[in-house]
């Protein structure tokens, strides 16, 4: 199902930096080209809600990626704390009870369920005690999350086709682990930009490939051209 998402919101830039000042410099550099920014644990711990509000006050969108995982009542109260902050997405990385509490508490924020971190592969899953494949776990968690009422899931683009085939198009797939070339860092289940959208992603979360580039704006423009080519072919 095609969704009416502006091209300049399809790339969520990950503000995985260590200071508010650095985050602000990145926002000011990129905001003319991408309008969506992720605030994760690293930045949130040094910037708290001040940086979220600063971004939102510029008319931009914020994805608060704190992966809430705690007793359901604590998750509920954490999600409530996001109310009226201008936050678009927030993540929960927990079981059904945690997800249910988050959905019940959510008012103006959309809850995304984390399926399996893109830094984990089959060997990691065995180390964690899981007796199923990554694909099976992603599908199981996504199915339950949508039944509970989550707006979508965080999933590698590798599993996106399976999710679309099994669960349809009426939910959001946000894909991290985007790498333009063969990957050598801690992300293991990666896809490139074009593959992510061909596979059914609605948004991608990109940090290091943009941040480490000699010309970050050129990288974003190139990624957007690839996204446009996929979206135009599907419409």
pLDDT value of position 127: 66
If phi > 0 it is left, if psi is from -120 to 50 it is alpha, else beta; for residue 48 that is left
CATH number, domain of 58, equals: 3.20.20.70
In the three-class reduction of DSSP (H, G, I as helix; E, B as strand; rest coil), residue 76 is classed as helix
**Number of structural domains found in the chain:** 1
Quick one: which of 183, 150, 179 has its CA closest to 167? 150
Question: DSSP string covering 135-160, please?
Answer: HHHHHHHHHHHHHHT-SEEE--TTTH
Q: Is residue 190 part of a domain?
A: yes
Counting Cα atoms < 13 Å in the Cβ hemisphere of 155 gives: 32
Residue 2 lies in a domain: no
pLDDT of the residue at 148? 97
**Is 1 inside any structural domain?**
no
> How many H-runs (helices) and E-runs (strands) does the chain carry?
11, 8
Distance in angstroms (rounded) separating the CA atoms of residues 147 and 113: 12
Question: Which segments of 83-219 are extended strands (E)?
Answer: 87-92, 110-114, 152-154, 172-175, 203-206
Catalytic (active site) residue 67: yes
pLDDT of residue 190: 63
- What pLDDT does 183 receive? 47
Within a domain: residue 201? yes
Q: From the CB of residue 183, how many other CB atoms can be counted at a distance below 10 Å?
A: 17
Quote the domain boundaries for residue 75.
7-234
Q: One of 3, 24, 38, 67 is an active-site residue; which one? A: 67
Strands (E), the chain: 11-14, 36-40, 61-68, 87-92, 110-114, 152-154, 172-175, 203-206
What lies within 8 Å, CB to CB, of 66 at 6+ separation is 40, 41, 44, 78, 90, 91
Residue 27 inside a domain? The answer is: yes
> Is residue 87, in this structure, part of any structural domain at all?
yes
Structure tokens at 79: 């999600």
Mean pLDDT per 10-residue interval, the chain, length 235 residues:
87 96 98 97 92 97 96 97 97 94 97 78 60 77 96 91 95 85 48 91 95 96 95 71
């Amino acid at each position: 199902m095609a969704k009416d998402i502006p091209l300049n919101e399809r790339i969520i830039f990950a503000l995985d930096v260590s200071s508010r000042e650095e985050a602000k410099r990145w926002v000011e550099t990129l905001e003319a080209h991408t309008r969506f920014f992720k605030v994760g644990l690293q930045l949130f711990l040094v910037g708290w809600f001040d940086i979220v509000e600063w971004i939102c006050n510029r008319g931009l969108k914020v994805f608060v990626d704190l992966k809430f995982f705690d007793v359901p009542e604590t998750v509920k109260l954490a999600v409530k704390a996001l109310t009226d902050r201008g936050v678009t997405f927030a993540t929960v990385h927990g079981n059904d009870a945690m997800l249910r509490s988050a959905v019940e508490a959510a008012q103006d924020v959309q809850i995304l369920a984390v399926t399996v971190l893109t830094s984990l592969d089959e060997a990691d899953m065995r180390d964690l005690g899981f007796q199923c494949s990554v694909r099976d776990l992603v599908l199981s968690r996504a199915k339950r999350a949508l039944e509970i009422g989550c707006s979508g899931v965080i999933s590698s683009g590798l599993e996106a086709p399976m999710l679309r085939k099994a669960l349809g198009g009426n939910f959001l797939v946000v894909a991290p682990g985007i790498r333009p070339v063969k990957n050598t860092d801690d992300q293991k289940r990666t896809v490139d930009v074009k593959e992510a959208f061909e596979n059914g992603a609605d948004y991608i979360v990109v940090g290091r490939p943009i941040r480490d580039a000699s010309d970050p704006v050129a990288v974003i423009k190139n990624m957007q051209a690839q996204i446009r080519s996929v979206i135009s072919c599907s419409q």
